[in-house]
Amino acid sequence: MKELKIAMVGFGGIARAHYAGYQMLKEKGTPCTLVAVCDINPDQLTRQIKINTSEIPVTLPKEMHTYTSVYELIANEDFDMADVCLPTYLHKEISVKLLQAGKHVLCEKPMALSSLECEEMLAAAKVSGKQLMIGQCLRFDSPYMHLKNAVESGVYGKLKHLSMSRLSALPIWGFENWFTKTERSGGCILDMHIHDVDMARFLLGEPEAVSVVAHDDVTRWQWENTRLYYPDGVTVEITGSWEETRGTPFVADYRAVFEKATLIRNSGDVTLYVENEAPSVLPQIAGDCYAGEIEYFVHSIVDGTPNTVNSPESACATVKLIEALRASAARDGEKIAYTLK
């Protein structure tokens, strides 16, 4: 079986989690090897970075090839796949360059700053014949896989209501403080709220209407409360915030009410509640979500299996839905009809 050679582009905050994922996959025997790391700032290759309240230590081995320019990487390194962990405003430009250079591309979420940019990325992937996947990592995250299984199997009956929240302080670890500049990050709604919006689409497809109350602070759309309306009266309510007091724990919760049970995630395990039964903590069904998404992408390339879990077209559709949420927010939360175009 062919072993994919991988180069990481951007070695800041989230790259640490991907790097740990490559180490897990090496131990597991997944056919991929990280051969190069590129970051415009060489200090990033050794710096420890704290994301919210957690820190992932990293020490690159001496034999790792390192670059400070993606163009030098493309010109001089022999690799098959790039793992793009750059700030969002660079996703389109650099992913397109890498695809044009004949590389498969895994690019972090959000796919790009606008759906127009996403469509350029899709077109570049089509012309190159190489694969593109976006790191919508919740699709590979055990607590959300439980949710997906419950919705698809119908084991607890139909989903009646789902609420999700993802709350943090304003991110301040980024390159040139890019998170805090709306034109570079798209605000919390595109950067972080998108995780749960994408999950709603993954579970239930496109909503038929949306309604969003949001407010701005340092960035636009720094806090938002979204309602997605689905047929049969199913409502998904999602809160996203970059306004929490620094030092408070990062929150990634959900509460899913089915006809016969409720599943609750409080930033950790998932607990199942069934009437007249003791609550039970569900076992983990997958390991680390970053290792999981990389492994899935590597196998889809090496084995030639179709990417049915996380297509780039779906990631583009999620950005389109974010654009509709912004339109509702601009009208003070007016409920507006939604159709994917």
Ligand X SMILES: NC(=O)c1ccc[n+]([C@@H]2O[C@H](COP(=O)([O-])OP(=O)(O)OC[C@H]3O[C@@H](n4cnc5c(N)ncnc54)[C@H](O)[C@@H]3O)[C@@H](O)[C@H]2O)c1
**Residue numbers at the binding site for ligand X (CB under 6 A):** 9-15, 38-41, 44, 70, 85-88, 90, 108-109, 135, 137, 173-175, 178, 191
Question: Is the distance from CB of 81 to CB of 103 less than 8 angstroms?
Answer: yes
Which pairing describes strands 262-266 and 251-258: parallel, antiparallel, or unpaired?
antiparallel
User: In this complex, which beta carbon is closest to ligand X, that of residue 138 or of residue 272?
Assistant: 138
Instruction: Give the CA radius of gyration of the chain.
Output: 20
Q: What are phi and psi of 95, to 5 degrees?
A: -65, -40
Q: What are phi and psi of 20, to 5 degrees?
A: -60, -35
Residues 104 and 149: their CA atoms lie apart, in Å, by 29
Question: Is the distance from CB of 141 to CB of 289 less than 8 angstroms?
Answer: yes
User: In this complex, which beta carbon is closest to ligand X, that of residue 36 or of residue 159?
Assistant: 36
User: In this complex, which beta carbon is closest to ligand X, that of residue 83 or of residue 227?
Assistant: 83
How far out from the chain centre does Cα 37 lie?
Answer: 21
CA atoms 258, 319, 180, 22: torsion sign: positive
Residues 85 and 14: their CA atoms lie apart, in Å, by 7
> Could you tell me the CA-to-CA distances from 72 to 78, 107, 215 in Å, in that order?
11, 19, 42
Shortest Cβ distance from residue 170 to ligand X (Å)? Answer: 13
Shortest Cβ distance from residue 191 to ligand X (Å)? Answer: 5
Using CB positions, name the residue nearest to ligand X.
Answer: 12
Nearest to 133, CA basis, from 99, 107, 159, 109: 107
User: In this complex, which beta carbon is closest to ligand X, that of residue 9 or of residue 159?
Assistant: 9
Shortest Cβ distance from residue 225 to ligand X (Å)? Answer: 21
The token duo for 67 is: 């670059």
User: In this complex, which beta carbon is closest to ligand X, that of residue 80 or of residue 108?
Assistant: 108
User: Residues near 300 by Cβ (< 8 Å), separated by ≥ 6?
Assistant: 131, 133, 306, 307
Shortest Cβ distance from residue 231 to ligand X (Å)? Answer: 30
Shortest Cβ distance from residue 50 to ligand X (Å)? Answer: 10
User: In this complex, which beta carbon is closest to ligand X, that of residue 179 or of residue 223?
Assistant: 179
User: In this complex, which beta carbon is closest to ligand X, that of residue 137 or of residue 212?
Assistant: 137
Shortest Cβ distance from residue 198 to ligand X (Å)? Answer: 11
Shortest Cβ distance from residue 277 to ligand X (Å)? Answer: 34
User: In this complex, which beta carbon is closest to ligand X, that of residue 89 or of residue 273?
Assistant: 89
Shortest Cβ distance from residue 98 to ligand X (Å)? Answer: 11
The token duo for 281 is: 């903590």
